[in-house]
Amino acid sequence: MIVSLSTGSVYRVAESILEHLHFIEKEFYGLIDGVEICFIFKEDFDKFEFDQKSINFLNSLEFNTLHVPVKETNYGKNEETKNSFKKIRGVIQTGKF
């Protein structure tokens, strides 16, 4: 069985996505195969930066997914969408979650 956990499932445990990742690592390391990093708000996505601890944790997993913002975002043929996709491509191209 493949098991993944979303940062969204622990949103009440801590305030930031980085803290969510640290919590998941502490509580579930060795028990899960992947993490979905869940961004709800565009502002959180735009300002987010990984720390080395979370990069090491995520790179130790079999897979990870990125849930792009769903609120306060107007996806379409516009600059906002281009900028969001540029950031997503950066994560993919560096190979660093």
Q: Where are the domains of the chain?
A: 4-94
Query: Which tens digits make up the pLDDT trace of 36-92?
Result: 999 888 888 888 888 889 989 999 999 999 888 878 788 889 998 888 888 888 877
| pLDDT given at position 95 | 58
pLDDT at 96: 56
**Average of pLDDT values for 22-43?**
94
Predicted pLDDT at 73: 80
pTM for the structure as a whole:
0.83
Work out whether the CA dihedral 59, 25, 17, 9 comes out positive or negative.
Answer: positive
Contacts of 42 (CB under 8 A, 6+ apart): 69, 71, 72, 73, 80, 84
Biggest CA–CA distance in the chain, Å, is 41
Output the pLDDT for position 86. 87
Nearest-10 Cα torsion for 2, 36, 57, 89? 120
